[in-house]
Amino acid sequence: MKNIWAPWRMEYILGPKEKECIFCVKPRENDDKKNLIVCRGKHNYVILNLYPYNNGHLMVVPYRHTSDVLGLGADEAADMMNMVKMCVAALRGAFKPQGFNIGMNLYSASGAGIDEHLHMHVVPRWDGDTNFMPVVADTRVIPQHLQSSYEALVGRFPPDE
């Protein structure tokens, strides 16, 4: 069995936690550029992950606060999958990845960093995008600043509906 190490995630794990749900607060602030929200839909929005596993790591988040995927309405679930498709198209256009990891971690036992508000991860991947830096240097190499990723992606989504 191989181990996958991500020691750089300790900054997030051990760092201070917000009192309110960040996935509820961020869209209410109406400062999408500061909050890295690249797209807003009817039931969900798309935000760049502040602690990405890879360059361009996006999350599709329902506006409604819920941790239970079974509690998503049909319209919310359909909108979420439509936005996942838009994420894939935007990431392909902006960064030309060779693959994607798409999925959810539901509840803390599955590894969810924020388990009180479900969200779908869309992580672009490239052949050979893993290297020795996280293991030997406790460092993750993300080749682009989050604001540059935001600028590269925000215009690739259809306008708000």
Q: Catalytic site residues?
A: 119
Whole-angstrom Cα distance, residue 27 to residue 147? 17
Whole-angstrom Cα distance, residue 41 to residue 54? 24
Whole-angstrom Cα distance, residue 95 to residue 89? 10
